[in-house]
Amino acid sequence: MKLNIILKDKTLTATLNDSPASRKFATLLPLTLQLKDYAREEKISDLPSRITTAGSPAGTAANKGDITIYAPWGNLAIFYKPHGYVTGLIRLGQLDEPDALPIHPETFSARFELLTE
């Protein structure tokens, strides 16, 4: 599944994987979220409802550009720096251009939409 992430001055594209968690995330779209900086390595936002993690691995390491869910908090996280293995971190997909996610400002609005063919 392809995804547009629409920011104030640009649109990022991403590819979601074919997991139960990413399919559940796709049912929430379109969705506008406030992304805020966390730990100087990711942008996070609360989701309107929890995403199922059934059938997902126990955790993963994050690569730059990964779109993830942190199951214990139920939030979305998009990494702009790599991070080691974290239990409860579930990968949903990847930005097509991992360097495209802005680091500044610390908080910004982003609209997530599925790309239709």
- pLDDT value, residue 35: 97
Q: What string of DSSP letters covers 84-115?
A: EEEETEEEEEEESSGGGS---SSEEEEEEEEP
Q: Is the torsion defined by CA of 113, 2, 7, 56 positive or negative?
A: positive
Integer-rounded Cα Rg, in Å, for the chain is 13
- pLDDT value, residue 117: 61
Provide the number of structural domains found in the chain.
Answer: 1
- pLDDT value, residue 116: 76
Q: State the 10-residue block means of pLDDT for the chain, 117 residues long.
A: 95 96 96 97 96 92 98 96 97 97 94 88
Residue 45 CB neighbour total at 10 angstroms? 19
Beta bridge partners of 31: 112
CATH code of the domain covering residue 10: 2.40.100.20
- pLDDT value, residue 1: 94
- pLDDT value, residue 114: 96
- pLDDT value, residue 95: 98
Where in the sequence is the domain holding 92, given as residue range(s)? Answer: 2-114
